[in-house]
Amino acid sequence: MSNKKNSINSLDRISLEKAMSFWDFFFLAFGIYAGVAWVTTLGGWLQYGPMAVMIGFCVCGILILPIGFAYAELTPALPLTGGEVAFAYKAFGRKTASFTGWFIALAYIIVCPYEAISVSIVLNYMFPGLNIIPLWTIVGYTVYLPTVIIGCIFSIFFTMLNYKGVKQAKIFQTLASACVLIMVTGFFVVALTKGSSQNLQPLFTPKEGKLVSIFAVLGMAPFFLAGFESIPQAAEEAKEGLNPRMMSKAIILAIIVGIGFYCITTISVALVAPWQSTVDKALPTAYAFEQVFGPKCRIIVLSAALLGLLSTWNGCFMTGSRILFAMGRGRLLPKFFGEVNSKYKTPQKAVLFTGLISMIGPFIGKGGLMPAVDIGALAFIVSWFVVSLSVVKLRKTHPNMKRPYVMPGGVTMGWIAVTVCIFFMVLILIPGAPAALVWPVEWITLLIWIILGTILFKINNDEAKKDNILDEDQAYLILGDYK
């Protein structure tokens, strides 16, 4: 094995720079939670009533906790870039690892064009003159030249930021996320002191039954409560000397804070203005606060939204590029994804690919927001399902594997996590369910991603055969010393 590794350059297992602390891991995850959805798409769930939102997000968070425990056990046990890819490979082998990695890559990479669209929307409301020079209309929404240019500029910015090293990217992530957390806390205090509980009525929308409303929110919530699984993607970049259990704590803390974040932002908007008058607005949060506190407050809300958007974009960019890197290094995707820049120690081709996908968003416009939410939710759930099965399988096949953190409840908790994932998949995949994928746009987009993954998988297979990559070689490239 060692002789083959030394003789074939493609089997040199390259690592990324080690620079992530506990708070870097936490803010990587929280920054993804703290995106702009609480400003741009809040109406998508508030339309079902504030109580439906509160119950939906809290129930979703409680259901997700067992999944979080599964991640918390496997992350310090297998602290490897690509997280789910390594977990699935260790438990089930190459094909499952490829399938899982490609889906979690979709979950994060699809957020990047989503954020490129959102940044244009927010800036347009801050500076209304941007809606000029119409280009085309998609799903009823017109795309304008200035918003395309802005989205492309930010796409290039995040590409360069992540290309030049994790230190710069993590500093940006921590500062932006911390500012959002402080500002949202301030909005909540203002809403409690200046808002009215009368604005919360009715607690559920009269258009739907209470249970249907809760399930509709529950179907969307996984996309917005996803983010904790970004931590294992960067686990291999943990600072030397960091206690592996700290990554587990960061995962659980991120889930709890995420639940609170969405409940607080929703209740704040519903308190300051009658919620039924805000849900059909393009930016419900900004609209509600402006009605009560004037235009200056609107600018403050939009500034917080812009910071949240940028932190989510950066976090998903970091995570998505590392998944592609891990799959390229492990020869689950073409090996060029596994290339590392010799100067910056960053996954250069994976970063450039993610940047290219980001630049698609501005050309699609606002019509691409909800499809990205729905497809991203499914992709996250698929990866959660595989990880939950992996933790159960590895308890049986590798009982003596070193586990710095052991999830409470053992295998039982693992099976609970599996059941939760199946429940969420039913909500999204069964036609007629409250949160089902929409035909044809969302199903076709999902199909295109699967076809693209199949093509890349075939190309990779041909490459691997040409380079005589054996099973033990691939285990080394994916798992390193944890094989």
Q: Rounded distance, CA 342 to CA 14, Å?
A: 10
Q: Which sequence spans correspond to the domains of the chain?
A: 2-482
In a structure prediction context, what are the per-residue pLDDT tens digits for the chain, which is 483 residues long?
334 443 334 457 777 778 889 999 999 898 887 766 677 678 778 888 889 989 999 998 999 999 999 999 999 999 998 889 999 999 999 889 988 988 888 778 877 877 777 787 778 778 877 788 888 887 677 888 888 888 889 889 999 988 887 788 888 888 888 888 888 888 888 888 888 888 888 889 888 888 888 888 887 787 778 889 889 988 988 888 899 999 999 999 999 998 998 888 888 888 888 888 888 877 788 878 887 777 777 788 888 888 888 888 888 888 889 899 999 888 888 888 888 888 878 888 999 999 988 888 788 766 655 566 677 778 888 899 999 999 999 999 999 999 999 999 989 999 999 999 998 888 788 877 666 777 777 788 888 888 888 888 888 878 777 878 778 888 888 998 887
Q: Please report, for residues 29, 247, 312, 320, the alpha-carbon distance to residue 21 in angstroms, rounded to integers and kept in the order given.
A: 13, 9, 19, 20
Give SS3 for 435. coil
Query: Domain 2-482 has what CATH class?
Result: mainly alpha
For residue 138, give the H/E element and its range: strand 134-138
In contact, 332 and 325? CB cutoff 8 Å: no
User: Scanning the structure block, which residue is given the tokens 């806390």?
Assistant: 185
- The full DSSP string for 94-128 is HHHHHHHHHHHHHHHHTHHHHHHHHHHHHHHHHSG
Q: Please report, for residues 256, 268, 349, 356, 475, the alpha-carbon distance to residue 219 in angstroms, rounded to integers and kept in the order given.
A: 19, 22, 34, 29, 36
Type of residue at 220 = M
Q: Rounded distance, CA 394 to CA 392, Å?
A: 6
Q: Which residues pair with 138 in a beta bridge?
A: 141
pTM of the full predicted structure?
A: 0.86
